[in-house]
Structure 1
Amino acid sequence: MNLNFNTSSSVVRLNIGGKKFCTTIDTLTQREPDSMLAAMFSGRHAVHQESDKGYVFVDRDGTYFRHILNWLRDGVVPTLKDSEYSELLREAEYFQLLGLIDGIKASLIKRKEDEEMSTELKRIDIIKCIQSERVRFRGLNLSGLDLSKLDLSFVDFSYACLRNVFFSRANLQCAKFRDVDAEASIFHNATLRECEFTGANLRGALLAGANLQSANLQDACLVDCSFCGADLRSAHLQTADLTNANLEGANLEGANLKGAKLTNANLKGANLQRAYLRHVNLRDTDLEGAKLDGANLLGAIR
C-alpha cells in the first residue's frame, strides 16, 4: 500500500529491520529537515506501507534507531561506548542526519580530551617535575594519585582536580590550593603550614594530625572534614563551611573563625584560646572540654 502523510501530527509506525517504533511526522521532519526521513514523510512522496500491519518498513539495522528517534525528539546525543558511536554514526550517515553526525563527532573528541586529561601525570612524573625550582600543576587533573611523603612545598596546585589524592605525610608547606577540587583527599599528618586553600572544595577530606599553622582556608568547603588532632593555630577560617566537621582535639589557638559555619561541628577538647569567634553561631556545636580562654566571643550565639 502506498500512503501520503500530510498531517504533522499523524502517527507513523516504523519497522526498522524488524524492530517496531511509533512516532509522529513532526518528530521525523522538524529537527533535521534535510534528512532522508524528513524527505520520506514530507508529504511529497508516496511511502510504501505494509498492507496488513500498518508499518512502514526500512531495511536497516534497528538496534540504534531508538537513539535516532530520541535525537529527533530532544536533540541530545546519547552517551555510548566508542564502538556503539561508530554504529550510530553509520546509521546517522545513512539517514543523512547532519546534526546528529556533528554531535557524535563532538562527543568523541570531548571523550578523547577527557581521557588524555585523566592520565596527564603519574607519580613518577610528579617526582621528576618537583626537582625543578618552580613547579606548577595549575588546572591539571591529578585525581587518585598517590603523592604521599613527597616534598611538594611551594607547589602551585590552584584550580586543579585533586579528588581522592593521597597526600599523607607529604611536605606541602606554602603550597597553593586556591579553588581546587580536593574532595575526599587524604592529608593525614601532612605539613600544610601557610598553605592557601581559599575557595577550595575539601568536602570529606581527611586532615587528621595535619600541620595547618597559619594556613588560609577562607571560604573553603570543609563539610564532613576530619581535623582530629590537627594544628590550626592562627589559621584563617573566615566564612569557611565546617558543617559536620570533626575538630576533636584540634589546636585552633588564635584562629580566625569569623563568619564560619559550625553547624554540628565537633570541637570536643579543642583549643580555642584567643580564637576569633565574634558573632559565630555555636548553638549546634559540641564544645565539651574545649578551651576558650581569651577567645573573642562577642555576639557569639551559644
Structure 2
Amino acid sequence: MLAAMFSGRHTLPRHPDTGMVFVDRDGKHFRHILNWLRDGAVPAMSESECQQLLREAEYYQLLGLADCINEILGWKKDENLLEAELTRKDVIKCIQAPKVRFRGVNLSGLDLSKLDLSEVDFSYACIKNANFCSAYLRKAKFRRTEATCSSVQSANLHECELIGANLEGSVLDKANLQSANLQDACLKDCSFIETDLHSAHLQGANLMGANLSGANLEGANLKGAKLAGTNLEGANLQRAYLREVDLRETHLTGAKLGGANLLGACR
C-alpha cells in the first residue's frame, strides 16, 4: 500500500509548509512497520501488542509481516494451553520426600490449595492460574517463577523467596507474606487486600495498579518500587522505607505513615 501511495499515480494530501503526508494510523506502531521493511525483523512484544501490530500490517497490506505475527500469536496460544506436567496427586507424592524441587516444571492450572509446600523450590517453574489458597508455603522459593493470575488467598508465605517472580494479576488477599523477599517481582494489578507484608522486601517491585488496601506493610522496604496507581488506602506503612519513592499517583487515604522514611519521596 505504501508503494502504491508514493508511486506517483495518486494525489496525496500534503502539509502546505512541510510537504509531509499524513497517514491516519497509530504512530507508535509505525516504527515496527519501518523496521520490518528495513530488515524483516519482528520485535519481542506482548500478545496484545502483537494483535495491534497485526491490524497495522493488514492495513498496510504487508502479508509477510502479518504471517510472522500470526505465527508468533500461535506460539503464544500454544504456550498458554500447555498442560501441567504433574497432577495434584503427583505433587502430593513428591512433597513426602525430605527435599522437594519443581524447578522449571510446568504446574499451570493445578489445584495445590491447602497443601504443605513449605521450603519447596518452584524457581523458574510455570505455575500460571494455579490455586495455592490456604497452602502452607513457608520459606518456599519462587525465584523467576511465572505465576500470573494465580490464587494465593490466605496462604502462608512467611519468609518466602519471590525474587523476580511474575505474579501479575494474582490474588493474595489475607496471605501471610511477613519478611518475604519480593525484590524486582512483577506484582502489577495484584490484590493484597488485608495481606500481611510486615518487614517484606519489595525493593524494585512493580506494584502498579495493585490493591493493597488495609495491608500491613509495617517496616517493609519499598525502595525503588513502582507505585503508580497503587491503592494503599488504610494500609499500615508505619516505619516503612519509602525514601525517594514516587507517591504522586498512589491512593493513601487513611494510610498510617508514622515513623515511615519519606525523605525525598514525591507526594
Counterpart CA distance in 1 for 2:112 and 2:252 is 34
The list of structure 1 runs, each at least 4 consecutive aligned residues, that deviate by more than 4 angstroms after superposition, is 74-79
Map of 1:227 onto structure 2: 192
In the alignment, the residues of structure 2 paired with residue 163 and residue 78 of structure 1 have an alpha-carbon distance, to the nearest angstrom, of 22
Partner SS state of residue 93, structure 2:
helix
Show the counterpart of 2:209. Answer: 244
Change (3 A) 1:119 1:268: closer
Identify the residue that residue 183 of structure 1 maps to in structure 2: 148
Amino acid at match of 2:232: L
Indicate whether 1:270 and 2:255 are aligned. Answer: no
Q: Deviations over 1:19-65 (max 9, x none)?
A: xxxxxxxxxxxxxxxxxxxxxxxxxxxxxxxxxxxxxxxxxxxxxxx
> Counterparts of 1:254-265 in structure 2 under 5 Å?
254-265=219-230
SS state of the match for residue 91, structure 2? helix
Q: 1:294 aligns with which of 256, 259, 262?
A: 259
Contact 2:84 2:108 in 1 (8 A): no
Q: TM-score, normalised by structure 1?
A: 0.62
Matched, 1:125 2:125: no
Aligned-residue Cα RMSD (Å) equals: 2.4
Among 138, 141, 144, the alignment partner of 2:106 is 141
In terms of fraction of residues, the more strand-rich structure is 1
**2:112 is matched by which residue type in structure 1?**
L
Query: Do the aligned partners of residues 75 and 297 (structure 1) sit closer, same or farther apart at CA in structure 2, a change above 3 Å counting?
Result: closer
How does the TM-score come out when normalised to structure 2?
0.70
Please give the secondary structure, in 2, of the residue aligned with 1:118.
Answer: coil
Match of 2:127 in 1: 162
Amino acid at match of 1:230: T
Helix, strand or coil at the partner of 2:162 = coil
CA displacement 1:87-138 (0-9 Å, x = unmatched): xxxxxxxxxxxxxxxxxxxx9xxx8xx89x7341000000000000100000
- 1:216-254 Cα offsets, whole Å, 9 max, x none, are 000000000000000000000001000000000000000
Which segments of 5 or more consecutive residues in structure 1 lack a partner in the other structure? 1-69, 80-106
**Percent of matched pairs sharing the same residue:** 65
Kept in 1: contact 2:242–2:260 (CA 8 A): yes
Partner residue in 2 for 1:55: none
1: distance between equivalents of 2:259 and 2:215? 17
Question: Aligned in 2, Cα 1:161/1:78: closer, same or farther, shift over 3 Å?
Answer: closer
Look up the SS of the partner of 2:153 in the other structure: coil
Deviation at 1:75, TM superposition (A): 9.6
Q: Partner of 2:159 in structure 1?
A: 194
- Counterpart of 1:103 in structure 2 is none
Partner residue of 1:208?
Answer: 173
CA gap of 1:78–1:190, structure 2 versus 1, over 3 A, is closer
Number of equivalenced pairs: 199
Deviations 1:161-197 (CA, angstroms, capped at 9, x unpaired):
0100000000000000000000000100000000011
Q: Say whether 1:284 aligns with 2:255.
A: no
Distance in structure 1 (CA, Å) of the matches to 2:68 and 2:148: 33
Do the aligned partners of residues 265 and 159 (structure 1) sit closer, same or farther apart at CA in structure 2, a change above 3 Å counting? same
